[in-house]
Chains A and B, each alone.
Chain A
Amino acid sequence: MSKRTVNLLVPIIAVLLGLLAGAIIMLVSGYNPILGYSALLEGVIGNEYNIGETIRQATPLILAGLAVAFAFKTGLFNIGVEGQLIMGWFAAVWVGIAFDLPAGVHVIVAILAAAVAGALWAAIPGILKAKLRVHEVIVSIMLNYTALYVTNYLIRNVLTDNSDTTERIAETASLRSEFLSSFTDHSRFHWGIIVAILGAIIMWFILEKTKTGYELKAVGFNEEASRYAGMNVSKNIILSMVISGALAGLAGAMEGLGTYEFTSVKSGFTGIGFDGIAVALLGGNTAIGVILAGTLFGALKMGALNMPFEAGVPNELVDIVIALIIFFVASSYVIRVFLERKKRKGAK
């Protein structure tokens, strides 16, 4: 069993263990796990609408996962994806409402605005870490809450006149497509999935093929050796967070320009940012892994919505399953040891 196989098996086993635990929790709480999981499945692929919505759901999750994975690969923990995403969402909708640009151009500018907003928001913990050694985790978490309050305020006082919801963005800025929604029974499936896949390709290219990626990873692995080799450690830490934040901002653009076509005051976090952490972990921090894991999570989240209807199970069960999956992946050492033992027994 090669290292590659083990690396692939670990997330799969973690998911299975998580689902198993979920089933046990359902049983203990008096629900029928088979009913519960079949409701879940129905909610994902039961009809064209569900499939369309699943892809739509997966799109921001993939981008959020890419954001976290990129940071992880370069030695940083970007737990601020949620805040960067909210800022990106706001920026995209603002461009969508406030400007009048030709079709095609408008949506691209809006998407770029989201990326820039996310990048700038992520630059703050990046700079603080690079220059002052402040741990990026706490700063990012504080900025998550700050982003929430600030965007709420701006929505009420700048984008609207004391209303909780903005108007719809211009059609020229939207990612929605008649074409796509027509063959998925009027779901909100939009072009954003292309952005997500492009994002994955770009991440892979930067990290594996460019000089910049070489530096970012080196700094993440061994700062001291990178300094010795003449690399600018500060610049690379900041760049890493900035690229990660840009990806997070794009995730927000997906919601603002595709899923909703507006933004509104939020009473709490969207959860996408935190799910992104799970997606990145499950995907082994690789581009293709994140696409797969993001799709899985999109499916889980989508299916979860069906569970209260068809099986009476609160949709939070899926959150519990996701949390347990993360535990299992993080503790993968144990799964690996188990696999090693099986390998040795097999050899004997």
Chain B
Amino acid sequence: MSFVDILHIIIPSMIALAAPLIFTAIGGVFSERTGVVNIGLEGLMVFGAFTSIVFTLTFGDALGGLTPWLAIIAAMVVGMLFSLLHAVASITFRADQTVSGVALNFLAAGLCLFLVKLMYDKGQTDRISVRFNKTDIPILSDIPVIGDIFFSNVYVISYIAILVPFIVWYVLFKTPFGLRIRAVGEHPMAADTMGVNVSKIRYLGVVLSGAFAGIGGAIHAITVTNDFSHSTINGQGFMALAAMIFGKWHPLGALGAALFFGLAQSLSVVGGSLPFFSGIPKVYLDILPYVLTIIALAGFIGRADAPKASGKPYIKGNR
């Protein structure tokens, strides 16, 4: 098997697996940049996955090819709704943000499975039949060698996933909204004295994280697992969190890190069929993404600095 053939196997899988991570990690960036830690990304992905699958199963016949896109929008809305729980608890009720996030994860797992049992009378949904179609991206797929590997027979949504961080970078660093987000996350009192509504910005940050994480979960369910059960989302939310930290809370850094983790996941899925990896016991490939995450955090980041006000409720009058 030539090197190009190997890339042929790994790259598309890497990009497809990275797409949910990219969206979710971007969501994390929005939340944490305003100073709210969001461990609940995993739970928000679960909500997104659940919503998208149920939506597709319910409306798939009626809406045809448009369904996956609408399912993603539905997932986005549901993600935003449930992230409000975390927002209210952390911002208005001043809860410990880590604990609130963990509670969100429990709630997602419990509620979604409860609803699956309620609606379908079993612990796992059927597989969806309407999915994203793989296509060739016009023009780019005609480039020799690279076109074949990167731009042929891929999901469009994966490439939207790669574009989004660039848009977010622009918003975060070039617009007033982005400036205020960064100020609130570093020194909320300073922003407050400049008339910036700290609560509002934080709510927006958390709700945006819900939106993006919901989309991430939906993409994962529709492109990877094709159904919903208790094991649909297993660690992707946390991996996205790690990608965010690895990327130093920068949208482009998060993109790079998510692609890296996508690569690790890809190796664990397809590695068995690659000559290089066929002799290695599967367990090493299974734990690869997780161990790589730890090594990445320990080795590359060291003392990564989160936004200074991250994790602390903002209370007026605290000197």
Contacts and interface: CB of A to CB of B under 8 A. Distances in A.
Q: Do chains A and B directly touch (beta carbons under 8 Å) in the complex?
A: yes
Interface of A: 25, 29, 77, 79, 124, 128, 132-135, 137-139, 141-143, 145-146, 149-150, 152-153, 157, 267-268, 274, 277-278, 281, 314, 316-320, 322-324, 326-327, 329-334
Given A142-B290, A145-B287, A330 B89 contact: yes
Contacts of B245: 135, 138
Chain B, interface size category, equals 35 or more
B39 A268 contact: no
Contact of A330 (B96, B231, B242, B298): B96
Given A29-B118, A327-B85, A333-B94, A146 B113 contact: no
Nearest to A337: B93
A316 B50 CA distance: 15
A132 B302 contact: yes
A142 B242 contact: yes
Interface in B268-303: 281-283, 286-287, 290-291, 293-294, 297-298, 301-303
A320 B107 contact: yes
Contact of A143 (B95, B110, B242, B294): B294
B293 A138 contact: yes
B110 A327 contact: no
B99 A326 contact: yes
B134 interface: no
Given A323-B110, A334-B93, A141 B301 contact: no
Interface in B103-120: 103-107, 109-111, 113-114, 117-118
B197 interface: no
B117 A314 contact: yes
Nearest to A334: B93
A139 B294 CA distance: 6
A149 B294 contact: no
Interface stretch (B68-76, B200-208, B214-222, B233-241): B233-241
A25 B95 CA distance: 24
Given A128-B298, A137-B39, A314 B95 contact: no
Given A132-B298, A146-B290, A137 B106 contact: no
Interface in B76-112: 85, 89, 93-96, 98-100, 102-107, 109-111
B230 interface: yes
Say whether chain B's binding surface is mostly helix, strand, loop, or mixed: helix
A184 to B, nearest CB: 29
Contact of B99 (A134, A142, A314, A330): A330
Contacts of A316: 110-111, 113-114, 117
A28 to B, nearest CB: 10
A285 to B, nearest CB: 12
A132 B302 CA distance: 5
Contacts of B94: 331, 333
A128 B294 contact: yes
Given A141-B235, A331-B100, A323 B283 contact: no
B297 A323 contact: no
B107 A323 contact: yes
B39 to A, nearest CB: 7
A334 B286 CA distance: 43
A330 B95 contact: yes
A281 B99 contact: yes
Interface in B122-160: none
A128 B301 CA distance: 12
A224 B73 CA distance: 47
A331 B89 contact: yes
A146 B94 CA distance: 33
B95 A137 contact: no
Contact of B290 (A143, A268, A317, A326): A143
Task: Please provide the 4 A-B residue pairs with the shortest distance between their CB atoms, ordered closest to farther.
Answer: A319-B110, A323-B107, A331-B93, A323-B106
B302 A137 contact: no
Nearest to A278: B106
B102 A79 contact: yes
A90 B287 CA distance: 18
B283 A320 contact: no
B294 A145 contact: no
Given A137-B39, A138-B242, A317-B114, A153 B85 contact: no
Contacts of A319: 106, 109-110, 113-114
A128 to B, nearest CB: 5
Contacts of A124: 294
Contacts of B93: 330-331, 333-334
A150 B302 contact: no
Contacts of A318: 110
A277 B85 CA distance: 19
B240 to A, nearest CB: 11
A134 B302 CA distance: 7
Contacts of A314: 113-114, 117-118
Given A134-B297, A323-B107, A330 B118 contact: no
A300 to B, nearest CB: 12
